[in-house]
Amino acid sequence: MFKKILVANRGEIACRVFRTAKRMGIKTVAVYSDADARAPHVLMADEAVRLGPAPAAESYLKAELILLAAKETGADCIHPGYGFLSERESFARACAEAGIAFVGPPPAAIAAMGDKIESKKLAKQAGVNVVPGYLGEIADTDEAVRIAGEIGYPVMMKASAGGGGKGMRLAWSEQDVREGFDATKREGLASFGDDRVFIEKFIESPRHIEIQVLGDQHGTIVYLNERECSVQRRHQKVVEEAPSPFVTPKMRAAMGEQAVALARAVGYYSAGTVELIVSGSDTTGDSFYFLEMNTRLQVEHPVTEEITGLDLVEQMIRVAYGEPLAFGQDDVGINGWSIENRVYAEDPYRGFLPSIGRLVRYHPPRSGDDLPRTRVDDGVAEGGEVSMFYDPMIAKLITWAPTREAAIDAQIAALDAFEIEGPGTNIDFLSALMQHPRFREGRLTTGFIAEEYPDGFHGAPASAGLVRELAAIAAFAATAHADRARRIEGQLGHRLQPPADWVVRIDGGDHAVHVSPDAISVDGAPLEIGIEYTPGDRLIEAELADEARLAVRIAPTRTGFRLTTRGASHVARVLPARVAPYVQHLLEKVPPDLSKFLIAPMPGLLVRLDVAVGDKVEAGQPLAVVEAMKMENILRAEKSATVKTLNAAAGDSLAVDQVILELE
């Protein structure tokens, strides 16, 4: 077996590979940029080598530096992780030339599947279903418009070398093609160094289902069931699960056999994923089409591990060493259900804009008495920083249970217990997805998020029962704070007792709450709830009447608390009952009118300004383009107006909430 492995990656996936390598008795080597000098993957490894400055192009994408690090440390194999150099034929070939094993497929297979246009041609030759479209190189926007019209709208424009949701645009009309074709080319060039774009028919009501394949160097190739990855936002996967609630055994066999045929056609070995787009309206299961093959380990591989009992990283290492697979297709089963949610540093309440900054607090949930089987794959630590230079994923939350419903409920409980302070996160949104009736029924398409949240995310709706429980928790916490205050000399005096009666305003309604040493009532009705809270606690775990548990993150505000649970934050104003009637006489502060300003919604680079001083603009007109996390974001006018001043210029680095221009 290999003696020492270098992981040519960072963060979560580097830590993931190191854990398996250490269990196998293999020494580990980390590489890092200046931004990651004290990152968990660096501290976890036996050795670490600096690559260069923070930008990936100057560090993690420098193949020659990674190979030099491997030689200097004596590493006899390199695992590329995902992203960065993982799907570059040149890197796999360079490893072979240097006499270092590449823990992945052969270079020829990477080359064959790495080009989306050529891979579709190969798939068709191998007898795999492919989506109707134009696979030739497209010269300019006019040609793209002509081709899209011939295929028939809607169409999808994709960067040939794209992946991870980058370099993709959906077009419903000629105008969409004209607006998005050049942007797709730029994103492809910026992210992958290739600006070629192809166009294919967009399958309506589509489901995104992928088949995990695994092969050895002795000709054995198996498929490890499927993953459902239909819940996406801007073509970026958000939720993954295995198996799929849509796939039947017959479909699974047909998809798996085609995936194996494609892998065999290109001489594939190691772990890989064949991604399919499936028509959700065709219950026969025959309408599935090849999208692409990812010649690497997928972000969502843990759900496959959970239902099969296999360690895919271990299998990749053993295959790279030349060992045959120790099992065949008939040995691959499905045990239970697993769901993965990607926890991102983004603000769902502000259009999912990227959020960067220091992790002031980071406490992920773990399996235990209060949580079912829960796994967190991460590469961050409290005090670390979510950088603008890399992907904004903080962690992957994976749960397993015997049934799909139980696995979903486990996600909700674990998300409630996830403590992150600093950058904004999508935890509330993920919890809302897990509670959504349509998700729980399994009626999924890749348009699920856009269809169910057309006006953005504003928090998961709370039932009347949950609101009553939160009102009780807020009043109980207020009582604890008042009791602590009376014990501090000079604050309330020695004879005063904390109030027992409170008025809690939450979600627009007032609730009368009575708190006694052994009972709580809300609006005159007793509430069976057990609460433990000490001022300063950040998480309350309440026991409810039906033996269920409710985890609530709590943070003090000026007049009460912010309570976060079940996919939403609730601001509770808590006042003693004798004081509450006087609140109506207080003046409310009117927020300033910011509609005349175009404000940077996230930190990023101002790529382009589309207007000048004096220009008249209409609602919906593009005003500027801001690039963040390698994605271009078009900022549009909210109303008809005239440009008064420009406060920034193309090429400027913008801070969040920085004024770009002013309208009048």
Q: Residue 473 carries which DSSP code? A: H
Q: How many residues in the chain?
A: 664
Beta strands at 270-279 and 206-215: parallel, antiparallel or unpaired: antiparallel
255 Cβ contact partners less than 8 Å away, ≥ 6 residues apart: 209, 211, 223, 226, 247, 274, 276, 288
453 Cβ contact partners less than 8 Å away, ≥ 6 residues apart: none
Q: With CA atoms as reference, report the closest residue to 302 among 425, 407, 434.
A: 407
Q: Which residue has the tokens 């600096």?
A: 50
Q: Residue 57 carries which DSSP code? A: G
What type of residue sits at position 229? C
What CA–CA distance (Å, rounded) separates 300 from 291? 17
Q: Which residue has the tokens 């003046």?
A: 587
In this structure, are residues 198 and 236 in contact, taking their beta carbons and an 8 Å threshold? Answer: no
Annotation marks residue 452 as catalytic: no
258 Cβ contact partners less than 8 Å away, ≥ 6 residues apart: 126, 127, 128, 129, 274, 290
What CA–CA distance (Å, rounded) separates 568 from 561? 14
445 Cβ contact partners less than 8 Å away, ≥ 6 residues apart: 205, 206, 207, 230, 280, 451
In this structure, are residues 431 and 235 in contact, taking their beta carbons and an 8 Å threshold? Answer: no
DSSP 498-557: --SEEEEEETTEEEEEEEETTEEEETTEE--EE----TT-SEEEEEETTS-EEEEEEEE-
Cβ-count burial of 365 within 10 angstroms (0-12 exposed, 13-18 middle, 19+ buried)? buried
Cβ-count burial of 143 within 10 angstroms (0-12 exposed, 13-18 middle, 19+ buried)? middle
What CA–CA distance (Å, rounded) separates 394 from 378? 6
CA-CA-CA-CA dihedral for 414, 416, 419, 421, to nearest 10:
140
Coil, strand, or helix at residue 600?
Answer: coil
Backbone angles phi, psi at 566, to 5 degrees: 50, 40
Q: With CA atoms as reference, report the closest residue to 571 among 550, 587, 554.
A: 554
Cβ-count burial of 386 within 10 angstroms (0-12 exposed, 13-18 middle, 19+ buried)? buried
Measured over the CA atoms of residue 454, residue 457, residue 463 and residue 464, the dihedral's sign is negative
137 Cβ contact partners less than 8 Å away, ≥ 6 residues apart: 117, 196, 198
Q: Residue 580 carries which DSSP code? A: G
Catalytic residue among 240, 292, 305, 469: 292
Determine how many CB atoms are found less than 10 A away from the CB of residue 587.
5
Which active-site residues does the annotation give? 292
